[in-house]
Chains A and B, each alone.
Chain A
Amino acid sequence: MSEITIIEKKNIAPDATMLFGFPDVGLVGVIAASHLIEELNLEEVAYIDSKLLPPLIVLHEGLPHSSLRVFANNNILLAVSEIPIAADIIYPVIQALIDWGKSKKTKMMISLSGIPIQERQDAKELKVFAAGSTPEMLKLAQEKGIDILGEGYMVGPQAVMLQKCANMKIPALTLLAQCFYNYPDPEAAAEVLKSLANIAGIQVDVKSLLEKGEEIRLKARDVMKRTQQELSGIKKTREYDIPLYVS
């Protein structure tokens, strides 16, 4: 039996775009995912059950929920984690989600995340970069005016997702908005959502996200602190490293 089980609560529509929003730098993916769930009224359709996850449940209105769930409507499947994923389970969790998404005949996978920049508080505008699982996906991003993350390292769930999708020839993109490393960044989440709208046609109004920015930052302090600990465990700062390519 697999170490990870995805339990479906509702029927899943085919041809959806599968999105991933996990705790990472600036909590960009999670903030963006929460906004999508709220704005599009996405429903919980599945969750992950696994002994690999920490002994933790998330209580909502007194009822237990898995920390790793999938929300959906007819066009979107959104995998979101409320707690950072420990380094040693990133591979099995991402592999299980990708296998499951493929079995549901999703047409494309996109992970939403951030790329930290120094002096973020001085940045006038935040750029979004993309990396793709195939040359065709990179071309799609370029045609939509999104810069390509040409050279460098990527660390974390979105890196594993992209590699697995490349191996399995699944069209996939990782969208990375420039953000704070250690502080929740709703502005970066708004930017990544604008790029998502551009690429996949998933439109949401980001005005309310920006208006609630300070409240979100206050609420996200504890998750950010836990995420910082996991980021240090996966050596996230390698993303700052200058790569030495052996061709």
Chain B
Amino acid sequence: MPNFPWQNIALNPLAAFGILLTLGVMGGHIANRIARLPAMTGYVLIGLIIGPASLHILNEDLLRAADLFVNLALGLALFESGRRVDLRWLRAERTLLLSTLTYCLLVFAALYTLLVFAGLDWQTSTTMAAIGMASSPIVILEMMREGRAEGQVSDRLATATALSSLLSLLVFAIALGSAHLFRQQPSADSLLTPAWLILGSSLLGLLAGVLAIALNHWLGHQRQHRTVLLFGLITLLVGLAVMLGTLPSLALLVFGLATRNLRGGESISEPDLLAGSHFFFVAFFVAAGAWLQPQALASHWPLAITYLLLRTGIAMLFWFALAPANCLTRRRGLWLGLALNPLSGGSACC
């Protein structure tokens, strides 16, 4: 009997990525048009259905092959999120800065207390509470893009998201160093680890920012070249940050922040980078759905639900109370608190 190629068929990474994108877009369309849900819900659900936890059309190896696109999507989102932090605005509008810092501290304290109370050790509690401080830049940006959101709620939301991610990463790095300090003999590493993570990442981001501004100026009127340059620098930064053992997420946030706030950086993201990034974002959400493991959630669901509810409750109450001080109506304050909900698990470990 002849042996035909289709008898032992196995998906290669290219075909798998094609399936991931095609089904993702279809899922997003169904969620949006039929269920009136954000398209990203559809992307994630499709990922969950075709991923290793369900139909297993995509296995772990194939998903890892899509890592390049997923990391690039995260990189783009974090860079763009950093660009939403306008230091000049924060100097003029200190209420927003103080509100965000207070909100992050409140969430951290509440989640840490909950997790310790639930019996987790202090290092795990610190790390998980730090993750809980941050809202997901990629989800927030996609939500704003899809809803064509503009105005004070979205401006303050984007700023609060970026600042909360920055704070979360700082606490994450310090927690990592503290774990060294307590688990091993105290050594220089205990101090050097967080210092390297924070300062190394920040320096990388800053250098990338300075380089981007200089090259952008040199390219002059070539808008398309400038966009490609930006994609190139974001990819390079992710790669370098991994190679040097720093935090890519922090480096990217600082990169965005630098290009927004250093002189000459205003035109870096012109035309709007996000408009050309949708392809990567769809890949990211489908892959994120595929990596989900509902079985793991099932064993810890009471704590997980309390964790999420506590976080949501604090966000909504806090921003509702501080709405007038933030130039918002109470109703818009409530929306802002609700919109800060999406968790940022990915940015800490990108």
Do A and B interact with each other, yes or no? no
Seen from chain A, the residues whose Cβ lies within 8 Å of a Cβ on chain B are: none
Seen from chain B, the residues whose Cβ lies within 8 Å of a Cβ on chain A are: none
